[in-house]
């Protein structure tokens, strides 16, 4: 997928992730400059897990996010549509079952989970609002839907520095560390193209979610949105 191509067609996105699977987690740590562990910790906290809760980790990739949720005591199902990412997760012994699934058409019955989360995945989905509706459908009433995603830094001078980092430094680093520099051009473009915190909050409300809240992490580089599934 090239830099200008932000169509996010499912086949192209899955193929792109197949191509970066081996280096994905390493590149993630480098690109996030050591912040990714803290972002995951906050994501897990916001799921409010009770021991044994069934949790869907959507767009689970290699299962690194799923493993963090499992460590909090949940029974996790890791779903993704990139065979390459899931195979890499299995190879490394991720302690969760993987299920092949498109976020826009989930192969799960209504009310199957206590919570569903998508971290660093919704931005890549062709129709993100469809994915939010599907997450709401498969979570039981009173359960949680969480999105952890790159967002818009709130302090303008910092935002400018960050945009420069995304467009210049990150692709240069990716050329050294990752298997596909194009994928990191796409990463930068897709972050800059993504709706800000308030717009995503609006999508949660449109999906029928209640008590919608968000918090900024690392000055808004990442935002953590959470909503509750209403009684049906």
Ligand X SMILES: C[S@@+](CC[C@H](N)C(=O)[O-])C[C@H]1O[C@@H](n2cnc3c(N)ncnc32)[C@H](O)[C@@H]1O
Options 19, 89, 121, 171; binder of ligand X; rule CB under 6 A: 121
Bridge partner residues of 77 (DSSP): 56
Bridge partner residues of 225 (DSSP): 147, 214
Q: Segment contacting ligand X (CB under 6 A): 114-122, 132-140, 190-198, 222-230?
A: 114-122
Contact present, 83 and 153 (Cβ < 8 Å): no
* CA distances in angstroms from 227 to 126, 167, 190, 204, listed in the order given: 21, 32, 24, 7
Radius of gyration for the alpha carbons in the chain, expressed in angstroms and rounded: 17
Told to check if 152 binds ligand X by CB under 6 A, we report no
Whole-angstrom distance, CA of residue 60 vs CA of residue 200: 20
Q: Segment contacting ligand X (CB under 6 A): 97-105, 108-116, 177-185, 216-224?
A: 97-105
Q: Kindly state the smallest distance separating residue 151's Cβ from ligand X, in Å.
A: 15
Residues 10-29 that bind ligand X (CB under 6 A): 10, 13-14, 17
Told to check if 104 binds ligand X by CB under 6 A, we report yes
Instruction: Rank residues 81 and 108 by Cβ distance to ligand X and give the closer one.
Output: 81
Whole-angstrom distance, CA of residue 21 vs CA of residue 159: 29
Options 70, 76, 85, 146; binder of ligand X; rule CB under 6 A: 85
Options 103, 115, 139, 166; binder of ligand X; rule CB under 6 A: 103
Instruction: Rank residues 21 and 156 by Cβ distance to ligand X and give the closer one.
Output: 21
Strand order in the sheet with 139-150: 98-100, 75-80, 54-58, 113-119, 139-150, 222-228, 210-217
Q: Is 64 annotated as a binding residue?
A: no
Contact present, 120 and 59 (Cβ < 8 Å): yes
Told to check if 183 binds ligand X by CB under 6 A, we report no
Q: Segment contacting ligand X (CB under 6 A): 46-54, 59-67, 69-77, 192-200?
A: 59-67
Which parts of this chain interact with ligand X (CB under 6 A)?
A: 10, 13-14, 17, 59-61, 64-65, 80-82, 85, 102-104, 119-121, 124-125
């Amino acid at each position: 997928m090239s830099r200008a191509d932000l169509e996010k067609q499912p086949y192209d996105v899955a193929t792109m992730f197949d191509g970066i699977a081996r280096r994905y987690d390493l590149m993630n740590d480098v690109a996030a400059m050591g912040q990714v562990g803290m972002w995951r910790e906050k994501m897990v906290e916001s799921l409010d897990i009770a021991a044994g809760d069934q949790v869907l980790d959507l767009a689970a990739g290699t299962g690194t996010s799923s493993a963090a949720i499992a460590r909090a005591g949940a029974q996790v199902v890791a779903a993704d549509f990139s065979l390459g990412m899931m195979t890499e997760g299995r190879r490394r012994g991720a302690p969760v079952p993987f299920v092949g699934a498109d976020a826009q058409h989930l192969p799960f019955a209504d009310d199957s989970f206590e919570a569903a989360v998508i971290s660093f995945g919704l931005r890549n989905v062709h129709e993100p609002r469809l994915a939010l509706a599907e997450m709401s459908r498969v979570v039981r009433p009173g359960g949680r839907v969480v999105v952890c995603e790159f967002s818009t830094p709130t302090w303008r001078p910092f935002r400018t520095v960050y945009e420069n980092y995304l467009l210049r430094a990150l692709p240069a680093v990716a050329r050294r560390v990752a298997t596909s520099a194009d994928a990191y051009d796409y990463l930068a473009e897709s972050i800059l193209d993504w709706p800000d915190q308030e717009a995503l909050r609006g999508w949660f409300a449109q999906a029928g979610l209640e008590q919608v809240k968000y918090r900024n992490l690392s000055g808004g580089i990442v935002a953590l949105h959470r909503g509750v599934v209403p009684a049906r």
